[in-house]
Amino acid sequence: MVMLKRLSSLATGTLIVATSLVQISAYDNSRSDNLAVYWGQNSYGATHTSDTANWQKSLSTYCQDNVINAIPLAFLDVFFSTGGDPEINFSNICSSSTNGVFSGTNLANCQFMAADIQACQAKGKIITISLGGASGAATFSSDAQGQAFAQTIWNLFLGGSSSTRPFGSAVLDGVDLDIEGGGSTGFAAFVDQLRTLMATGNKPYYVTAAPQCPFPDAYIGAALNAASFDAVYVQFYNNYCGNNAPSSLTLVRAGISQPGIYLNRLKIIIYNFIVRDNWARTQSPNPNVKVYIGAPASTTAAGSGYVDATTLGNLAISARAQYPSFGGIMLWDASQAYANGRYDVAVKNAMGSGTGSTTTPSTTTTTKTSTTPTTTSTTPTTTSTTPTTTTTSTATPTSCAGVAAWSSTVAYNGGSWVTYK
C-alpha cells in the first residue's frame, strides 16, 4: 500500500490530507516478482491454539493491499467421497463439520465465501483451489478417472455449472496440485482434460503445482513433464534441499557433488534452479512455465526451511538474475505470515521489483530424443594466459538434469556447475 500526502492550500491555511491508494493491476504470470501465499489451513492456529487473535482470518483480509498476487485455497483434500463428490476443508473458516454440506455429499457449503473471493479477484489477485495437501486422499486409479475428475472440478469451482458449487457464483481462477502422497497415475490426464475445458472459458485460467525440492518429484514429476503448467511452487522446506540447508552440506546429498567444495545454502538453492530452469525450458510442455522458491512464513510453519526475509529475498534476487523461468516466491501460509509481523510484506520488499521478461543466460541444452542424453554446454569458456587466445571445451561425459559432467581435461571458470560421480 502506498501512502501519499496531498497538500491543499486553503484561504484559512494548509490542510494535509493522507490518502491511501491501491493501484489495481491484473495478475501477470510472466512477472518475476509475484508472491503466492496459501490460505485455508490456519497453520498458525494449529501451532498456537490459545492465541486465537492471530488465527486465520477471512480470505478478503489478505487482499487489502498489493503484496500478495496469488492465493491457492488449501485444501480440497479428498477426491472421491460421499455421492462421488470431493471434500474441502478450510479449518476455522469453513468445513463440513461447522458449515454443513450439500445433500447427499460430504462437500462443505462455503457459499458465503463467494463475496470474499470476488473481492480478491477485483483487486487483481488470482484465487485457485489447491488439491491434495500433506494428508490428502488425492489419488487416481486410472487416466480415465483423472479425466472425469477434471470435469467435476470444472463444474464445481471453475467455468462449469452444478447445483453443489461450494463457492456459489464465484468462479475460481484455476487449480493447484499439492500432491504429497499416493501415486502419479492420472494427473497428466487430469491436467490435459482440464486444459481442454479451460480453453472453452471466457477468462484466463491457471494450473500450478507444488512439488518437493528433490528433483524429480515422486508424485507430480511425471505430470509436470507431460502436461502444461503455468507455475511451479517448489517446496524448499522440510527437505535436505531446503532454504536453510546447513553450510556444510554438499551436493552429494542431492545425488551429485562438486569435488572438494562445500556449498552454502545459496548455492544449493541456485543449483536446484539450474535443474528447474533447464527443465522449464527443455522438458516442460510449456516453455514459459514459472518456477517459484517456496518457503515457510515463520519458524512454526514447517519443520525446517525458514529463513529471514532478507535471506529469502537475496535467494530470489540471485535466481531472478540468472534464470528466466524464475517467477517469484511462494509462502506457507497466510496466517503464519501475518502473525510473523507481516513476513509477506518483508519478503515482497526484499525480493524487489521484477519484470515480465528476463534476459536468457547461457544455457545447457539436453537432446530429448536419445535414450542417453547428449549434453552440449555453451559454458565454460576459459581464456589462456595469452590474452588473444580463447579455448572452449565441451564436457560430454554423463550429465545430470542437463548439467554437464566434470572432466579432468576441462578448465572451469569460478562458479561453473558440474556433476561428479
Q: Say if residues 155 and 171 touch (Cβ distance below 8 Å).
A: no
Which is catalytic among the residues 77, 85, 173, 180? 180
What's the mean pLDDT in 396-421? Answer: 41
The grid cell for 138 is 488425492
Using the predicted structure, report yes or no on whether residue 105 has a pLDDT greater than 90: yes
Q: From CA 289, how far away is CA 295, in angstroms rounded?
A: 19
The per-residue pLDDT for range 12-62, each reduced to its tens digit, is 333 333 333 445 689 999 999 999 999 999 999 999 999 999 999 999 999
What's the mean pLDDT in 397-407? Answer: 42
Which of 259, 303, 309, 264 lies closest to 420, judged by CA? 259
Point out which residues pair with 296 in neighbouring strands: 332
Q: What is the pLDDT of residue 241?
A: 76
Which of 9-23, 223-237, 239-253 has the weakest average pLDDT? 9-23
Provide, rounded to the nearest whole percent, the portion of the chain with pLDDT above 90: 65
Point out which residues pair with 383 in neighbouring strands: 390
Residue 400 is given by DSSP the state B
**Phi then psi for 153, rounded to 5 degrees?**
-65, -40
The grid cell for 406 is 566434470
Q: What is the pLDDT of residue 274?
A: 85
Q: What is the pLDDT of residue 136?
A: 72
Domains by residue range for the chain, with CATH: 30-364 (3.20.20.80), 372-421 (no CATH)
Q: From CA 251, how far away is CA 419, in angstroms rounded?
A: 9
The per-residue pLDDT for range 75-99, each reduced to its tens digit, is 999 999 999 999 999 999 999 999 9
Three-state secondary-structure class, residue 349: helix
- Confirm whether 87 is a catalytic residue: no
The per-residue pLDDT for range 187-222, each reduced to its tens digit, is 999 999 999 999 999 999 999 999 998 889 999 999
Provide, rounded to the nearest whole percent, the portion of the chain with pLDDT above 70: 72
Three-state secondary-structure class, residue 250: coil
What's the mean pLDDT in 155-178? Answer: 99
Q: Say if residues 406 and 259 touch (Cβ distance below 8 Å).
A: yes
How many other C-beta atoms can be found within 10 angstroms of the C-beta atom of residue 98?
12
The grid cell for 233 is 511452487
How many other C-beta atoms can be found within 10 angstroms of the C-beta atom of residue 172?
22
Secondary structure (DSSP) of 96-146: HHHH-B-TTS--B--GGGHHHHHHHHHTT-EEEEEEEETT-B---SSHHHH
Q: From CA 148, how far away is CA 144, in angstroms rounded?
A: 6
